[in-house]
Homo-oligomer: A and B are copies of this chain.
Amino acid sequence: MAKILIAEDEKAINDLIRINLTLAGYECKQVFDGQEALNTAFENKFDLVLLDVMLPKLSGFEIIQELKGTPVIFVTARSAVSDRLKGLKLGADDYIVKPFEMLELIERVKAVLRRTKGETRQFEFDDICIHLDDRRVFKNGIEIALKPKEYDLLEAFINNRNIALSREKLISLVWDFDYEGDTRTVDVHVQQLRRKLGLSERIQTVYKTGYRLQL
């Protein structure tokens, strides 16, 4: 379980973050000013630091320079564009602007942890394994060469699995979204996926509607 340091001086926000990250399964430590943040970070090894830019005593910018090696997500008040740029330059792994959706924060935390731990994103079902990072697809461990459009279509199906997607929707997801009405393009590509990956059962035709990847 990853350990996260929350450095944020507004107690209400700090608490809210802690509650949500705890619920999401992370172990959290709260600090409320820059000096405390630095001391705590030196005493313990954290997998990630959520760092408010404007902290009492030491600013986030000053702290990040000392945190070499530890991933950081900057938390900034709205609209300070220059702050964000500065933060990223100084080595932040991501930033998030207040006020933010908790789910968004959790997604970013997950993403940074995934990235910094060198984990690869994969998606698997049946005998199919999709390496999302390098866009390669394996069936029973054997790589199946998909053409770019075919892969894009597959990813669209995965991201919208279990729901029926109209041809229009698929075109807007995979193709450059303005598109004249009536073509068989989607159909042909769907057939390719079915044939190459043996997905006849999984990619279902929804008559008069479109297609659905059923998992």
Chain A contact residues, CB within 8 Å of chain B: 11-12, 15-16, 18-20, 23, 79, 81, 84-85, 88, 94-95, 97, 99, 101-104, 107-108, 111-112, 115, 133-135, 147-148, 163-164, 207-209, 212
Q: In chain B, what residue has the closest Cβ to A162?
A: B134
Q: Are B81 and A19 in contact (CB under 8 A)?
A: yes
Contact status B115-A15, CB under 8 Å: no
B108–A101 touching, CB < 8 Å: yes
State the CA gap A11–B79 with chains docked (Å). Answer: 9
Residues of B within 8 A of A133 (CB): 163
Measured between beta carbons, the chain B residues less than 8 angstroms from A97 are: 12, 16
Do A94 and B84 touch across chains, with their CB atoms under 8 A apart?
Answer: no
> In the complex, A209 Cα to B152 Cα: how many Å?
13
* Among B107, B115, B147, contact of A99 (Cβ-Cβ < 8 Å): B107
Query: Roughly how many angstroms separate A88 CA and B16 CA in the complex, as a whole number?
Result: 10
Give 19 A-B pairs besides A11-B79, A23-B88 with Cβ atoms closer than 8 angstroms: A12-B79, A15-B79, A15-B81, A15-B84, A16-B84, A20-B88, A94-B101, A94-B102, A99-B101, A99-B104, A99-B107, A101-B111, A101-B112, A103-B115, A133-B163, A134-B212, A147-B207, A148-B207, A148-B209
